[in-house]
Amino acid sequence: MIQQVLEQNKGGIGILTLFGDIAECSEMWRWVLDLSKVRRAHRAATAVISPMVEKSRHRLGGISDLTWSDPYMVGFMVMLITIAARIETGKIDGEALCRVQARSWEDITTIRSGLIGEEVLLLSTSCNREFETGCRNALAFSSMLVGNSILFAGAGTGWQDRPRDLQEADSTIAERDDVSAAWERFFDAHVSVHVRDIMAEPGVVPL
């Protein structure tokens, strides 16, 4: 009796197995596509942001780890990485975006703590004002780039839904006078203020 039931349902079992294989293949391809998107987004973000940061290091004589941990700097840099990633790949979120943010943060800041995700979550959930200001300024800086067609031209509304080759523009971004002026306003000026505040604290010996 049991054997007869198995024989009668053999076709159904085969169909279920087939659908199972298709689901596994679909999951595998999704993982491969996510990995490719993460790599593209990471390369684009670091290619665009790192040259500007390196110029600031040279102008300011370096950027300390303590400065990078400032909530404003965390908000500004992580938001800028996020925007660059979405311009390059279109829609990217969830775990894939978290990997891009973490890897790009490490490469740009040279800080390898691996805790930036937790820091962003803590600052975001606590509605830290400095963190939110950093995020807003990153948006303003990016909007200026988009408005001046440095990243791409004629994208119009819904640009974040369409991938763009951001890496093609990275060689000219840091060289433009308007970009340099905006970067110094949103980045260098805050680094200088942060260092000055630290040096003004009691017990701090000037370098």
Could you write out the DSSP letters of every residue in 120-179?
Answer: HHHHHHTT-HHHHHHHHHHHHHHHHHHHTTSS-SS--TTGGGS---GGGTHHHHTT-HHH
pTM greater than 0.85 (yes/no): no
What 3-state class would DSSP assign to 93?
Answer: coil
* pLDDT one digit per residue (tens) for the chain, 207 residues: 434 434 445 555 454 454 455 455 556 556 556 778 899 999 989 988 999 999 999 999 999 999 999 999 999 999 999 998 988 888 888 889 999 999 999 999 999 878 899 999 999 999 999 999 999 999 999 887 765 444 443 343 444 444 455 555 555 666 778 888 999 999 999 998 866 655 555 554 444
Under 8 Å between Cβ of 51 and 170: yes
C-alpha 183/C-alpha 177 separation (Å) is: 10
For residues 120 and 104, the answer to whether their CB atoms sit within 8 Å is no
Q: Which residues contact 51 (CB under 8 A, 6 or more apart)?
A: 170, 173, 174
pLDDT at 104: 96
Domain residue extents for the chain: 2-199
Select from 167, 197, 174 the least CA-distant residue to 72. Answer: 197
* Pick from 115, 101, 178: nearest CA to 141: 178
Instruction: Note the pLDDT of residue 58.
Output: 92
CA distance 189 to 109: 17
> Residue 45 in contact with residue 88, Cβ under 8 Å?
yes
Tokens (6 digits) for 3? 């054997």
